[in-house]
Structure 1
Amino acid sequence: MSRLSNLGHRLHRGEVAYDFVGNRRIWYGVSILITLAAVVGLAVNGLKLGIEFSGGAVFTTPKTSISVSDAQNRIEGHTGGSEPVVQKLGKGSLRIQISNVSTAEAKRIQTSIAEDLGMPKADVDEQIIGPSWGKEISQKAIQGLVIFMVLVTIYLAIAFEWRKAIAALIALIHDLTITVGVYAIVGFEVTPGTVIGLLTVLGYSLYDTVVVFDGLKETTKDITKQNRYTYSELANRSLNQTLVRSINTTVVALLPVAGLLFVGGGLLGAGMLNDIALSLFVGLAAGAYSSIFIATPLVADLKERDPQMQALRKRVLAKRAADARRAEEPQDAAQEPDEDDEDGEEHAAAAVAGQRRPAPRSRSKNRPSGKRR
């Protein structure tokens, strides 16, 4: 049996436990710092929107031996004042993307690119995307994201309770903010592939959170009928029981995504794979972190404010104090003899000493002695 599997069995049986809920202030602080870094990166660098959102032109060349940096240098200054984005595609062709250009400017830029790269103009494919269409796509993406979060919140409130719905929503916003911040810091373009990756990430993060919440629901069933554990302690126990499952699921999901990001995007130069894989990689890692360190501790915080849970905590603490006092009493009794027991022993000895020995039966006077006269 592997060490991870053995650890999972020990966590499930309660032999080993990590106090995630008890140290929740530490995790909150770490999440706040990461989120602030993401927000600062987003405010300083901003999002680099692709032409699908901002409008522009895309030029695709046939297979060529010209490198990305060489092509960037050759077409520099001939793109109408806009900075071109050059990518090497898997089949050896180049994809040149220029934002915020009109149709007339695109025709002129197409001619300049063909001359700079030394190829016929007819071989350079041109695709124009208007800014109005890009704006409409942006609005649809935002609407889809808002509708997704509203439906998720309603579903969780019905399936579990409103506290878990709020915690899951905060975890989703946490994952989304970190992913968008990383995009801004790294400088990757936001494309429809990015939106697809974000929606996939939110779905996966929600799945992991629901798995943890389902275990928490089973663990805390009829919690008010016992006096041994508080809600936070049972929440931490449930989290430990599902910890290895969450880790295994996350690692298995990250491995193919890492292959897409580092092999497909890095070695093969596939632009769309980069957009999807980066959002998936960052979002999956952030989702696994938020499910363990954010969602469940938040639920415990919200539940502990409930009057029934506060009353349960008082009963649990009172019972533990009474058990501690009873555990100390036998030790004191063993160290110091009880005066009542000494008195009892003395009375027993006196009673034994005061007992009369039964008198021997005397012969009757008229009874013959048995001697012959």
Structure 2
Amino acid sequence: MELFRYKKPIDFMGASRKFGIVSLILVLLSWGLIFTKGFNYGIDFAGGTLIQLKYEGEAPLKKIREAMAKSEAFKDATVTYFGSKNEVVIRTKTSSKSVGKDVGDEVRQMLKDTGKFVVRRVDMVGPKIGNELKEKGLMAMVLAILGILIYVSVRFEWRFALASVLALVHDVSIAMGAIILFNVEVNLDILAALLTLLGYSLNDTIIVFDRIREGLQKIKDPDLAGIINESITRTLSRTVLTSLTTFFVVLSLFLFGGEIIYGFSFTMLVGIIVGTYSSIFIASPLLMWLGFDVKAFRAKQAEKLKREKEKEKMRAMYEQGTI
């Protein structure tokens, strides 16, 4: 299905410098937020206790907070609505080390005068486990990026690999900046979204790179910018259709999925937009900025093709018994 019909290639590379400057500013601002404000770590990484309650009627937040303030273990707890006004989530830094008995029973006793409710969920994570999850999550992202670097280097060429990895760093950096800016709680769902974003963005970039590599062999234009423009223009319909389909699915999750998957869907929304943008305006121009040589590439491909033909000729001669 073709969304766009074109008589000549769109000049994407003509605007690449402007988009590059915008991206650089966004990445620097994102890292500035990371080092100054930092992440709002959830229970999974910071450790603590999360208790979800469901009341028969509207949950009395004021009474719950007053009751929590009387307890030494829960005096710093935060109480917020969870999806609807009859469900609340209580978050506290208290972990299993500081609570000697069943947390659910303690909460029932503490809040017995606030109305009828049931304890839907109690999650407890110690500080040590939280730090382990944080370290393993970071290691998973680093290993994923290294694996991608090796894979693209083997499949394409080192400049393609470096360009794709830099584009991934760009995407993840801006996504993390948005997470901090909108104060989204960072937990295992966010980590899963960031790892999913790596795969989604790489898939988009690889498809564009495949078409560029094909263009290097078929398009007569010796100018790399012209080849990239024509290659991206040819994949534009596919890119827009894929991105819009994924975007609308994730948007539905964001709007109607509720509080539980809010962080995941928010991160994916940002990632889809940034990942699609970076495949065109960041990864592709990086090939030019890294000094990719069209003539050298074509000479290398011609030499490779020549060696393959010689091997086929030798194999044919061997099979015919002429060697």
Query: Does 2:76 match 1:82?
Result: yes
Once the two structures are TM-superposed, the CA of residue 111 in structure 1 deviates from its matched residue by 5.7
Alignment of 1:20-39 (within 5 A): 20-39=12-31
Residue 45 of structure 1 corresponds to 37
Distance 1:104 1:85, change over 3 A: same
Matched, 1:262 2:255: yes
Give the CA deviation at 1:69: 5.3
Identical aligned pairs, as a percentage? 28
2: CA distance, partners of 1:68 / 1:36: 43
- The TM-score normalised by the length of structure 1 is 0.70
Using the alignment, how far apart are the partners of 2:63 and 2:9 within structure 1? 57
Query: Residue 307 and residue 198 in structure 1: after superposition, are their counterparts in 2 closer, same or farther (change >3 A)?
Result: same
Alignment partner, residue 278 of structure 2: 290
Equivalent position of 1:250 in the other structure: 243
The AA in structure 1 aligned to 2:13 is V
Q: Distance in 1 between matches of 2:222 and 2:61?
A: 63
Counterpart in 2 of 1:117?
A: 114
Extract unaligned runs of 5+ from structure 1: 312-373
- Which of these residues, 118, 123, 148, is aligned with residue 144 of structure 2? 148
**Contact 2:55 / 2:116 at 8 angstroms: preserved in 1?**
no
- Flag the 1:23–1:124 CA change in 2: closer, same or farther, 3 A: closer
Cα distance between partner residues in 2 of 1:242 and 1:197: 26
Q: 2:89 aligns with which of 80, 92, 95?
A: 95
Equivalence map 1:300-339=2 (5 Å)? 300-304=288-292, 308=296
Deviation at 1:56, TM superposition (A): 0.5
Change (3 A) 1:67 1:175: farther
Quick check: 1:277 aligned with 2:265?
Answer: yes
From 139, 155, 159, give the equivalent of 1:159.
155
Cα deviations by residue, 1:291-341 (Å, 9 ceiling, x for unpaired): 0100001012224467748x9xxxxxxxxxxxxxxxxxxxxxxxxxxxxxx
SS of equivalent residue, structure 1 residue 61: strand
RMSD across aligned positions (CA) = 2.9
Go from structure 1 to structure 2 and tell me whether the alpha carbon gap of 1:69 and 1:41 turns closer, same or farther (over 3 Å shift): farther
What is the SS of the residue equivalent to 2:50? strand
Task: Give the greater-gyration-radius structure (CA).
Answer: 1
Letter in 2 for 1:257: V
Q: Does 1:174 align with 2:170?
A: yes
SS in 2 for 1:23: helix
Distance apart, 1:74 and its partner CA: 4.3
1:278 is matched by which residue type in structure 2? F
TM-score by length of 2: 0.80
- Which residue of the partner structure matches residue 370 of structure 1? none
Shift in CA distance, 304/61, structure 1 to aligned 2, threshold 3 Å: closer
Structure 1 SS opposite 2:35? helix
Taking a change above 3 Å as real, the CA distance of residues 63 and 25 of structure 1, as seen in their structure-2 partners, is: same
Once the 2 structures are TM-superposed, how far is the Cα of residue 216 of structure 1 from its aligned partner?
0.5
Which whole-Å CA distance do the structure 1 matches of 2:95 and 2:253 have between them? Answer: 32
- The question of whether the paired residues in 2 share the 8 Å contact of 1:103 and 1:128 is answered with no
Amino acid paired to 1:199:
L
Question: Is contact 1:167-1:298 (8 Å) kept?
Answer: yes
